Structure 1
Amino acid sequence: MNAGLSVHCVDVAHGRVAEGLSVSLYRLGADGEPAGAPLASGRVGTSGAWTDPVLTGPQITAGGYEVRFDVGGFFRRLGVALPDPGFLEVVVYRFHVTDAAQHFHLPFKFTPWGFSLFRGGA
């Protein structure tokens, strides 16, 4: 059985969920680098969660993954003045699923200048 992934994003600079943040999920190949096109990509919804059927589907098996968060684009769309390029543009988070029967929750908290990413409880 596959328990999948969940991703929740919070813009702590403004104290709200990161509605509209662009996110992509890649599978890592044997060389540890992303293998091809994203498994899923989209935007965070009004609840702060990024939902996509792939995240809880059979595509999530044991192996390496990379999630990319477009932090620079998110803050520019909000009208936040950033240097060009911004301190953070795309935040990359690589992790490994060792037991696909477990659920992997990925809380992402960020500002234009820093972030926190970890495996949370879910």
Structure 2
Amino acid sequence: MSTETTASVSTHILDTSKGRPAVGVAVSLATRSGPGRPWQLLGGSTTDADGRCTDLPVPPKGTTQVRLEFQTGAYFSSPPPTVRPSVDLRAPAARQDDASERESPVFLPEVVVVFAITPGEHYHVPLLLTPFGYSVYRGS
């Protein structure tokens, strides 16, 4: 059902390299009223325990394009949570990370997605993320 009101936007991030949601990623939302027009930053949110941002600002009337900026650098550079694995004597010893691997720069410090919107529609934009690539699509 489409009305002449504004559109709405939500997103979530799945870290496909780990097979789980990306928690704690800052996401900002900006809008503009046409190609070449200046962007207006409306605000943002942070992904929750399910990797979702459901409380992003509502684009104002007249918006034709939205820009989502995902701050992925902090997510990839933060240490992973400590997990105590069970001991399996048959498994080979875990390889220790090389210091140069840990100190290398993050390949994707941010991901920016720009898309067109139509008044009255809802846009759910999932981000499938790995340390070296990403994919986005219009979800439901």
TM range (shorter): 0.7 to 0.9
Write the distance in 2 (CA, Å) between the matches of 1:108 and 1:90: 12
Contact 1:26 1:34 in 2 (8 A): no
Query: Partner residue of 1:106?
Result: 125
Query: Could you say what secondary structure the match of 1:39 adopts?
Result: strand
Shift of 1:81: 2.8
Write the distance in 2 (CA, Å) between the matches of 1:39 and 1:27: 7
The alignment status of 1:87 with 2:107, answered yes or no, reads yes
Query: Could you say what secondary structure the match of 1:47 adopts?
Result: coil
Write the distance in 1 (CA, Å) between the matches of 2:121 and 2:64: 13
The alignment status of 1:74 with 2:75, answered yes or no, reads yes
| RMSD (CA atoms) | 2.4
Is the alpha carbon distance of 1:47 and 1:66 closer, same or farther for their aligned partners in structure 2, counting shifts above 3 Å? same
Is the alpha carbon distance of 1:73 and 1:60 closer, same or farther for their aligned partners in structure 2, counting shifts above 3 Å? farther
Identity %: 30
1:44-63 alignment to 2 at 5 Å?
A: 44-52=47-55, 54=57, 57=58, 59=60, 62-63=63-64
Counterpart code for 2:111: V
Write the distance in 2 (CA, Å) between the matches of 1:16 and 1:70: 17
The counterpart of 1:26, out of the listed 14, 27, 30, is: 30
Contact 1:40 1:52 in 2 (8 A): no
Q: Where in structure 1 do 4 or more consecutive aligned residues deviate above 6 Å?
A: none
Shift of 1:73: 1.1
Gaps of 5+ in 1: none
Write the distance in 2 (CA, Å) between the matches of 1:91 and 1:17: 16
Write the distance in 1 (CA, Å) between the matches of 2:30 and 2:42: 5
Counterpart code for 2:64: G
Shift of 1:87: 1.5
Counterpart code for 1:19: V
Write the distance in 1 (CA, Å) between the matches of 2:108 and 2:59: 32
Contact 1:34 1:66 in 2 (8 A): no
Shift of 1:30: 4.6
Shift of 1:53: 5.2
Contact 1:45 1:51 in 2 (8 A): no
